[in-house]
Amino acid sequence: MRKEKNTAAGAWHELASEAVTRSVAKLSRISAGSWAIKDIEAVVSAEALRAPGEEPGAGVIFTVAGPGSLRALLTFRARDVEAVSRCFLGYSFVKMSSMNKAEELLVSEVGNILFNSFLSVISARVGEVMLPSVPHCIQGGLDIIDTAFRGSPGLTPGDAAARLRLTLSCKDGEAECSVLLAMERELFSRLFTSGGAS
């Protein structure tokens, strides 16, 4: 896995490593194939919010309400969903031009497991219970999904943000998952000054 030189990116990278190691272990226990982390790359702040390409995919949005609000967007490229499905279920769904409902539910469920691993680490570091919203799955170009997320109520330009690009190998293939996390500065400060990654 890549070592981040930038301090902030390094802190996010450490948090992501802890979270993803948990979720990959959990997923491997129940999946038809074995999951592994191939790479984690952390990109912070303004650069993190730069939209990815126009490639089709699906995104799962989570929000955590409360004093230190947190929002997350997990995106999967459409071409990777087949690999995710094959690894998770042992087979893939019939390939269609857009994802069907079953694939959407699968992406939501895998996103749910990945996001809750992040939330578990964050909650433990700040010492607070953080209940996520129902996952909201959207399909489209990754740039459009990103724009929709950034336009959602509650996100402000002052929020701390990071994009974590995860490359997971599963069974015979690989899947990329982008995790875009945005949180209030106050939560960000507590997260990285409470004996955690700073």
Partner 1 sequence: MKILVVDDNLLAAVILRTALESLGHEVAEPAQDYETALDACRKSAPDLVFVDLVMPGRDGLELLAALRGEFPATKAAVVTAVDQPGVDARIRELGGAGVLRKPFTMSELRTFIETVVKA
CB of 139 to partner 1, least distance (A): 16
Indicate whether 141 belongs to the interface with partner 1 (CB under 8 A): no
β-strands 70-77, 173-183 pairing: antiparallel
Name the phi and psi angles at 172, rounded to 5.
-90, 0
Nearer to partner 1, 94 or 134 (CB): 134
Among 43, 84, 106, 183, binds partner 1 (CB under 8 A): 106
Closest by Cα among 93, 84, 77, 61 to 141:
77
What's the CA gap between 67 and 53, in Å, rounded? 33
Stretch that binds partner 1, among 39-47, 74-82, 97-105, 139-147 (CB under 8 A): 97-105
Closest CB to partner 1 among residues 32, 53: 32
The arrangement of strands across the sheet holding 173-183 comes to 35-44, 160-170, 173-183, 70-77, 56-64, 136-141
Radius of gyration of the chain (CA): 16
Distance CA 7, CA 4 (A): 8
Contact window for partner 1 (CB under 8 A) among 10-18, 28-36, 76-84, 170-178: 28-36
Among 21, 108, 139, 189, binds partner 1 (CB under 8 A): 108
Q: How far is the CB of 192 from partner 1 (least distance, A)?
A: 19
Binding site for partner 1 (CB under 8 A): 26-27, 29-31, 101-102, 105-106, 108-109, 112-113, 116-117, 119-120, 123-124, 128-135
